[in-house]
């Protein structure tokens, strides 16, 4: 008796799992969408001349030779050697 009840319970849970409505995952506000939605502008990415970190161009610091850096400490240290 218990085995039959357990079998029907497992079948019921499996049916619910397969037939339940799926939630759509929405991106957080302000996140760029890959679909090219209107009003979303992709920003250029640059890399730091000292450490190679990729970051948005709007956050870049520049030196006299137009090299980009992620922070003032890396700008003061100069580009990496090698």
Reduced 3-state DSSP string for the chain? CHHHHHHHHHHHHHHHHHHCCCCCCCCCCCCCCCCCCCCCCCCCEEECCCCCCEEEHHHCEECCCCCEECCHHHHHHCCCCC
Tokens of 74: 């890396």
Distance in angstroms (rounded) separating the CA atoms of residues 82 and 66 = 19
Classify residue 9: in a domain, yes or no: no
In a domain, 73, yes or no: yes
Task: Read off the pLDDT of residues 18-32 as tens digits, 9 standing for 90 and up.
Answer: 988 888 777 677 665
Range of the domain at 68: 42-82
Q: Is 70 part of a structural domain of the chain?
A: yes
How many domains would you assign to the chain? 1
Residue 78 maps to a domain:
yes
**Any domain includes 11:** no
* Tokens standing for residue 2: 């218990």
Report yes or no on whether pTM surpasses 0.75: no
Average pLDDT estimate for 43-69: 90
Query: What are the tens digits of pLDDT across the range 28-55?
Result: 776 655 555 566 678 899 999 999 899 9
Q: Does any domain span residue 63?
A: yes
């Amino acid at each position: 008796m218990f085995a039959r009840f357990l079998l029907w319970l497992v079948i019921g849970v499996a049916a619910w799992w397969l037939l339940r409505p799926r939630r759509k995952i929405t991106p957080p506000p302000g996140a760029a969408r890959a679909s090219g939605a209107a009003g979303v502008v992709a920003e250029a990415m640059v890399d730091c001349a000292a450490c190679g970190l990729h970051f948005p161009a709007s956050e870049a610091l520049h030196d006299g030779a137009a090299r980009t850096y992620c922070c003032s400490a890396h700008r003061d240290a100069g580009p990496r050697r090698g």
